A and B are shown apart, each in its own frame.
Chain A
Amino acid sequence: MPTPTKGPRLGGGPAHERLILANLATALFEHGKITTTEAKAKRLRPLAERLITFAKRGDLHARRRVLTVVRDKGVVHTLFEEIGPRFATRQGGYTRIVKIGPRKGDNAPMAIIELVEPLSEQAVAEAEGALKRAAKERAKAQEAQETAAAAAAAAVATTEEVADEADADVVEQAEAEGADVAEAVEAETAEAQEAADEVVEEAAEGKDA
């Protein structure tokens, strides 16, 4: 059983909230997926999931209790005949809420609430496409990792050589050329920087003289 709601009702009163939620639940079971505000989606979720639990039970008493909320007999029929059996293996968590950002106009945060098991064949196709895409991305990521590992191994070897050469070159140049080179040397190794600092000091002394 969901936790009782604290704070103000949706719409302005308890009766109004009941009506709003009943209408939202009807729309959800009719279309399988509805876009609404985050607050309404969050309030709708426990109600819709309880109705699906009634649908899974499937007897006349359950049907009458659902009919007190969802007044449309056609929708209750699809709920009991199609939606309920689809969730037979699931123990709750029948709906999914995805936030889709603020609405133009009043900046209200919007969300999509949908049945986890999709209603139509189109939705099934979409899900399969997503699975394929995920598999492809995983394969690509694995490849990239392998190549990156190989490249890293090669890079370590080359950078060590290059670094050694660069150190020697930089120190020699700094000693030979003086203040101009000191700026370029700053970006290089700490060793080179020390040498360059000495050169700069020497240059400063020369200017004073």
Chain B
Amino acid sequence: MAVPKRKMSRSNTRSRRSQWKTTAPALVTCDRCKSPKLGHTACPTCGTYNKRQVLDV
């Protein structure tokens, strides 16, 4: 089995990890309660989707 010959330096590890990035989710406003929610998803605050109650709140 192939194994690494040398220990990877802290520098190399960190420069690889510098490419790990997060992005903020794109949010839309709920029709019913005006709170921010994910698009095409039931609102977690009021539990509605397309003006229909989907979740128990």
Contact = CB atoms under 8 A, between A and B. Distances in A.
Interface of A: 98-101, 112, 126-127, 129-130, 133-134, 137
Contacts of A129: 53
A98 B44 CA distance: 12
Interface string B12-33: 0000000000000000000000
Interface centre among B38, B41, B51, B55 (most CB of A within 10 A): B41
B55 A100 contact: yes
Contacts of A126: 53
7 contacts: A99-B40, A99-B41, A100-B54, A101-B38, A112-B55, A126-B53, A129-B53
A130 B49 CA distance: 11
Contacts of B49: 98
Contacts of B51: 130, 133-134, 137
Instruction: Describe A's contact surface by its main secondary structure.
Output: helix
Nearest to B54: A98
A112 B38 contact: no
Interface string B39-57: 0111010000101111100
A130 B41 contact: no
A127 B37 CA distance: 23
B50 to A, nearest CB: 9
A101 B30 CA distance: 14
Contact of A101 (B41, B52, B53): B41
Contacts of A133: 51
A101 B51 CA distance: 17
Contacts of A127: 52
A28 to B, nearest CB: 16
Contacts of B37: 101
A127 to B, nearest CB: 8
Nearest to A35: B55
Given A100-B55, A101-B37, 8 more contacts: A98-B42, A100-B41, A100-B42, A101-B42, A112-B42, A112-B55, A130-B52, A133-B51
